[in-house]
Structure 1
Amino acid sequence: MRKLKINLKHCYGIKSLKYDFDFSTKKTYSIYAPNGSMKTSFAKTFQDFSLDEPSEDLVFSERTTIREIKDENDKDLDKEQIFVIKPYDESFYSDKVSTLLVNKGLKDNYDEIHRELDLKKEELLKLLSRPSGIKKNDDIQNEICRAFFKSDFFEVLEVTEIKILNDDNAELSSIVYSKIFNEKVIEFLEKPNINSQIKEYIEKFNELLESSPYLNKKFNHSNASTIQKTLKENGFFGANHSINLLGVLNF
Structure 2
Amino acid sequence: MSPLFKNKVAAVTGAGSGIGRAIALGLAQEGAAVHLADRNAAGLAETAALLRAEDAGAFITELDVSSETAVFEWIEKIASTSGRLDAAFNNAGITGPAKRIEDYPFEDFQRVMAVNLQSVFLGMKYQIPLIKRSGGGSIVNTASVAALTGPGGMSGYAASKHGVQGLTRVVAMENAAHGIRVNAIAPGWTETPMVVANNQQNPAFAALAQNAIPAKRGGRPEEIAAAAIWLASDAASYVTGHMLTVDGGMTIGGGTLTPNLERIIPCQTSMKQ
Q: What range is the shorter-chain TM-score in?
A: under 0.3
TM-score of the pair, normalised by structure 1: 0.24
TM-score of the pair, normalised by structure 2: 0.23
